[in-house]
Amino acid sequence: EAGVVQSPRYKIIEKKQPVAFWCNPISGHNTLYWYLQNLGQGPELLIRYENEEAVDDSQLPKDRFSAERLKGVDSTLKIQPAELGDSAVYLCASSLGVASQETQYFGPGTRLLVL
């Protein structure tokens, strides 16, 4: 069974440029998560989708970050414009349901460096 797929794996951009990350969850997983992981820290939730609906997006900086999951399958996270402080790893995860004991399956992440 294929795991969570993310691309690109690495991205280097200059500040003020836009950037987009793509995630394809495990087939059949209705819930999709985007996390931010800073160096030496644990993942912090940015946004959670239940099918096409975005829920739990209180930590998403909406002035520059946006996300979509149009058909309830794959998802895109965008930053425009990027700032130096956005340099981090962006993790995507998926799970079958939304219950608090559900196992989340993580992708390998996209490592972003903003110069």
Tell me whether residue 97 is exposed, middle or buried, using C-beta atoms within 10 angstroms of its C-beta: 0 to 12, 13 to 18, 19 or more: exposed
Give Cβ neighbours of residue 15 (< 8 Å, ≥ 6 apart): 81, 82, 83, 84, 114, 115
Residue in 36, 91, 112, 114 binding other proteins, rule: CB under 8 A: 91
Residue in 11, 56, 72, 73 binding other proteins, rule: CB under 8 A: 56
In the stretch 16-55, what mask flags binding to other proteins with x, by CB under 8 A?
A: -----------------x------xxxxxx--x-x----x
Q: Which of 25, 26, 33, 27 is nearest to 50 (CA)?
A: 33
Residue in 19, 67, 107, 114 binding other proteins, rule: CB under 8 A: 107
Give the integer Cα–Cα distance in Å for 93 and 102. 12
Residue in 4, 19, 112, 114 binding other proteins, rule: CB under 8 A: 4
Name the residues that contact other proteins, by CB under 8 A.
3-4, 9, 33, 40-45, 48, 50, 55-56, 91, 93, 98-101, 103-109
